[in-house]
Structure 1
Amino acid sequence: MASTVATEKRPGYGQLLRTPGAWTFLLPGFFARQPFAMLTIGIVLLVQHTTGSYGTAGAVAAVTGVSMALFAPQSGKLADRFGQRAVLLPGVAVHAASGGALTALALADAPLWALFAAAVPTGASVPQVGPMVRARWAARLEGSPLMSTAAAFESVTDEFTFVVGPVLATALCTGVHPAAGLIAEAGLTVVGGLLFAAQRRTQPAPRPAATASAPHASALSVPGVRVLAVAFLGIGSVFGGMQVSLTAFSEEIGNPGVNGVLYGIFAAGNMLAGVACGAIAWKSGPRRRLILGYAALTLAASGLWAAHSAVLLAALGLLVGLCIAPALITGYTLVETLVPASARTEAFTWLTGAVALGQASAVTVAGQLTDAHGSGAGFTVPLMGTALALATLVTLRSRLSPKARGRIAARGVGHRVPVTVD
């Protein structure tokens, strides 16, 4: 027993990956979530090729992102109620069909309204594999200190996906055919989604029937989830603002190729911080870590607009990336203490959808500011988004503490480690 307790005090990735059954959903889950990182860039490259307009391409991609943000939580709620497999199978079919329709319409020079009409179901049906993987971790690690390690591991996996996915989609669109990126995205969705859905033994048990003692309630009814959703909107504003503004900055200095390097440095900072967060045995509570991490993110983003050299922007981008991972990881860790197991997948999809909505909004606003005033103005979008989210977190921080009955329940199922409450 002493050795077990000692191990729990210093949770690490090795112990996490030895969790029984973990690899059965991690490997198919990685391939199943890869298309999510390919979708936006695949749409932009295809629609820009067929219309000649980045504005039109960005608008179609934004419709897809907003649609996903609005429908993803409903997908998560259905997965909690009926099981992940029951939602994944029809979702994969709808996404492949609607993505194929969007590709065909773009190649046929269809009018913009038709592209929008196809973009809505394409975004709405994006399989929410990332939140489903997090829900499987939560089900298998109920009350364990390894939950924060699992959240860090998933953050690193997400970031790695967003490094590999856009590069793969860009290579296919530019080296094979402008539609190849979206075609590959649809194919990976079908194959990866079906393989992930086949792993029935590790999916959380569905809660099909509501009762008076355990009614079905939306995860968004939990005040803390609403606060976290606002915080994740701010994180999405960083991703969207950085994508547009780094592209514009690279063109302004006459070196478009440096865009990939700058964004890669930004993503690398996020990955490195994610790895470090999962290896640290934290002594402070998650609420305090979230507020401090978000304050650091806001401070780092405040200098982006003033950078006038690629070297300085690379350094600031690395710093911003280092600050994003702690905020993301702590937010996902807090969800496990705020919502019951019957609503976790939905809660995770609200946060993922908030990032997508924040990103779509930031792409639109940063694009307009960049067109009118240059890349420096576009870099103010991450600052504004994170500052507003930080103000919300500080003002409503009391809502991020679990209720008394949640703490009692968390200790009541054989947990050796109580939940930390600030």
Structure 2
Amino acid sequence: MSSATYRTLLRTRGAAAFFLTATAGRTGIAMTSLGIVWLVHDRTGSYTVAGLVTGCFAVTEACVGPQLARLIDRFGQTRVLPPALLAHAAAVASLLALTGTGGPHGLLAVAGALVGATIPQLGALSAARWTTLLSGRRAEALPTAFALESLANGVCYLAGPALVAGVGAGLDPAFGMALATALVVGGGLAFAAQRRTAPGAAGDAERRHAGRSLLRPAFAAQFGVNLGLGVYFGAMQVSVTAFAVEHGAAQAAAPLYAVSNCAGLLAGWLYGLRRWRAAPRIQLAFATAGLAVCCWPVLAAGSFAGLGLALTATGLAVPPILVLSSVLTTASVGPAALTQAFTWLNSASAAGAAGAAAVAGRTVDTYGAHGGFTVAAAATAAMAVLAAAHAGAARGVRGSRSRT
């Protein structure tokens, strides 16, 4: 299939409007965490305080995000999103004011927590809209839509940090935070204005039934996969940096990250161009196994060239996992809880990355960069086992139903 598949999706009535506005907002979201680091460090001169404020932001974003998504599932995107965005703008304004006046570190941490608690997960909201837009006979196009979402996320998280770092280094870091917030609020409000494609609010009975679907083993498996993927990301970030430092070229870490990210963008784009015959759970089992296998060369890498090739291979395996996890989540969770489900997957990945960064950092201090790579490899092996077990269990259930 040609790239017309993506063009056809975006020509669907209302699709381009919500996708592009959500992408603008996601660019701002990708800028926010690093923007806080630049801002707080510039004003306090302390990376410890900057890390504290950013950590509070990350924790509340992961914990409060699903609760905000629950409200969105209950009352609708167009009703909940605007006040949440205004609250986010107020939280950022309070952080800017406190840093500008030299506020106490405890208040800076509280302001950072409020920024994280009010930031909306526009990626989850966009995925929920695709699910509604492509329901029924058009459901077979969902993998392509989620591949498009994966591409947007990849581009946003490449461009966003580079943009806020450039503004922070060349101008005042406050301008970087202001730009990030303008993109989040502006893109989010424009997204909320697209009422035609917004999922409708669910009734009480539908919400209760859908809420129970979040406890099903099928969704638990996707939560576990995303948790493992977060551990992989967190461990690799620390370990690649440590590898570059050990080899006397700390500046080489950025190109190594870029190689992996660009490989992922290519893989995500190619994956979405084709209709795959195998069931998504089987594809996920193979994709996670492929990622686990590709981690072995990382453990043996002794040069930048070898590590770059190994990271390219692992980067190719990540986007299909993200796409397939979204597809399987759509199939296992009721429509009235989809925003919550997608947000929980984001929170799982964020929690895994945060925990892995601490564990891998300690492992690197003891065993060097390859010790950190071992943490990432162990996470991918656990993901592969979990995906294979889920595929086997689903196949067993289907087999028992066919016999009865």
TM-score (norm 1): 0.86
2:130 corresponding residue in structure 1: 137
Distance 1:163 1:389 in 2: 25
Greater mean deviation of Cα atoms: 57-66 or 293-302: 57-66
Deviates more, 1:28-37 or 1:295-304: 295-304
Residues 307 and 313, structure 1, Cα contact 8 Å, conserved in 2: yes
Q: Could you tell me whether the CA contact under 8 Å between 1:236 and 1:357 is conserved in 2?
A: yes
Structure 2 counterpart of 1:26, from 15, 19, 34? 19
Given candidates 65, 69, 82, the residue that maps to 2:62 is 69
Using a 3 Å threshold, how does the CA distance of structure 1 residues 69 and 23 change in structure 2: closer, same or farther? same
CA distance in 1, matches of 2:163, 2:173: 12
The structure whose residues are more often helix, as a share, is 2
Partner of 1:199: 194
Partners of 1:127 and 1:80 lie apart in 2 by 13
Q: Distance in 1 between matches of 2:251 and 2:368?
A: 18
Name which of 161, 167, 173 aligns with 1:166. 161
Alignment of 1:237-316 (within 5 A): 237-316=231-310
TM superposition outliers: structure 1 runs of 4+ over 6 Å: 401-404
User: Are the structure 2 counterparts of residues 388 and 113 from structure 1 closer, same or farther at C-alpha, using a change threshold of 3 Å?
Assistant: farther
What secondary structure does 1:379 align onto? helix
- One-letter identity of the residue aligned with 1:154: E
Pair 1:85-2:78 in alignment: yes
Counterparts of residues 10-159 of structure 1 (less than 5 Å)? 12-143=5-136, 144-159=139-154
Aligned positions of 1:378-389 closer than 5 A: 378-389=372-383
Equivalent residue runs for 1:323-342 within 5 Å: 323-342=317-336
Question: 5+ unaligned residues in a row in structure 1: which ranges?
Answer: 1-6, 408-422
Q: Could you tell me which runs of 5 or more consecutive residues in structure 2 were left unpaired when the two chains were aligned.
A: none
Superposed CA offset, 1:266-309 (max 9, x none): 11111111011101220100000111101111222233243232
Name the stretch that deviates more: 57-66 or 21-30.
Answer: 57-66
Residues 1:313 and 1:248: Cα distance change in structure 2 (over 3 Å): same
User: What's the CA shift for 1:149?
Assistant: 0.6
- Structure 2 distance, partners of 1:251, 1:119, is 30
Map Cα deviations across residues 228-247 of structure 1 (whole Å, 9 max, x no partner). 01100111122222222223
Kept in 1, the 8 Å contact 2:40–2:99? The answer is yes
User: 2: CA distance between counterparts of 1:109 and 1:401?
Assistant: 60
- 1:362 partnered with 2:356: yes
Task: Please give the alpha-carbon distance, in whole angstroms, between the structure 2 residues aligned to 1:73 and 1:401.
Answer: 30
Distance 1:119 1:265 in 2: 32
Change (3 A) 1:140 1:180: same
Contact persistence 2:168–2:175 (CA under 8 A): yes
Q: State the Cα distance separating 1:366 from its structure 2 match.
A: 2.5
- Are 1:219 and 1:347, in contact at CA under 8 Å, matched by a contact in 2? no
Give the Cα–Cα distance (whole angstroms) in 2 for the partners of residues 265 and 317 of structure 1: 7
Q: State the identity as a percent.
A: 36
The aligned length equals 397
Find the aligned partners of 1:402 and 1:342 in 2 and give their Cα distance. 28
**Superposed CA offset, 1:22-42 (max 9, x none):** 112111111011122112222
Could you tell me whether the CA contact under 8 Å between 1:235 and 1:386 is conserved in 2? yes
